[in-house]
Structure 1
Amino acid sequence: MTIKYVDFFVFEEVCRIIQDFIKSDSPVFPISVNFSRFTLVDADFLKTIFSICDQYQVPRSLLEFEITESAENIDETFLDDMIRDIKKAGFSVAIDDFGVKYANLSLVLNSDIDTLKLDKSMIDSIESNEKAMMFIQALAYICKTLNISFIVEGVESQDQFEILKALRCEGIQGYLFGRPMPLSDFCRFLEEKQNKPKNSPAE
């Protein structure tokens, strides 16, 4: 499948960027990389990611592997073993787009994941859907109890943000806070944040 070459190319670019940040004394933080289910089942998957990571001398703690929930097409035992091997190697693992098809709670309960990312579709009607609020609140509580980071994706309005804060969702991302941008713009954004006076109003 062609997609695996795209996945490995993106992973190598991320490693190169982190290496550049480290060499230039820029702020360094973990970066998540998506991998398709077709790439995960590649026989040389682990060997390839280890080789790329070591080539750029990037600490494995700075890399998170995002696996989409559509990976249910992979044998669950194989997926559990893969997640275990990735974690054993020092990387972290996130389940992305959770709820986009169905809530695969067995994946949350039986796999050693670090982060659960709730799909945007689950909050689109949150302002008027009491059941959605209750479900998200319960899921946030379950994740906190299991020591899993819980991130709500696709937050686009202040109303959604306020509701999620009230539901004690600590990880929130979406266009309300920032849109995809070129690397040069992102570096400029980081520099502005770094140089911003500590007593200036929060954005």
Structure 2
Amino acid sequence: MFTGIIEELGEVVAIRQEGGGALLSVRGPVVTSDAKHGDSIAVNGVCLTVVEVTGDVFTVDVIKESLERSSLGALTEGSAVNLERAVRADQRLGGHIVQGHVDGTAVLLSRDPGESWDDLRFSLSPALGRYVAEKGSIAIDGISLTVTTVDDESFGVSLIPTTLKLTTMAGRQVGDMVNIEVDVIAKYVERLVVRQ
């Protein structure tokens, strides 16, 4: 489990295709400071398992489904990525409950820079739209954000200066694809209600 509070920007240093999946190596001095084989690290919001740590670089297996369901397949050497280690039980939950199980992708439709923050609008698939609510939580590339507006085809978020400074969102341009994880509580509530 993660909180959606990004610990650092990492850099993809190597990608090796293996069968239908890939081995992804990422430089991240903060997240590798105590990382070991078997640990979970979220890369752009996708929970991945560490298979090797060498210095400040960790390597993870990325299965075919993760490549197809997320934007990880579009990464190249040198790509910046958001990194977060799994939350410990004795930590504050600063963002919201993020599983690292990406539900799909969205496209950045518009970006309106403000004096102190940026307003961004993303596409929203009908399959995920029912889980997105104004003032609710959503994870975009692993970043815990609050939904400011929502309609049938899109939703908006506002990015504060800290988010712009410490995550990949500062460089996102209209047309870029991002990973989306909707609020897991909404999915469980729906399942409970539908089964009754």
Same fold judged by TM-score > 0.5? no
The answer to which structure, 1 or 2, has the higher relative contact order (CA under 8 A, 6+ apart) is 2
The higher radius of gyration belongs to 1
Q: Which has the higher strand share?
A: 2
TM-score range, shorter chain: under 0.3
TM-score (norm 1): 0.26
Q: Which has the higher helix share?
A: 1
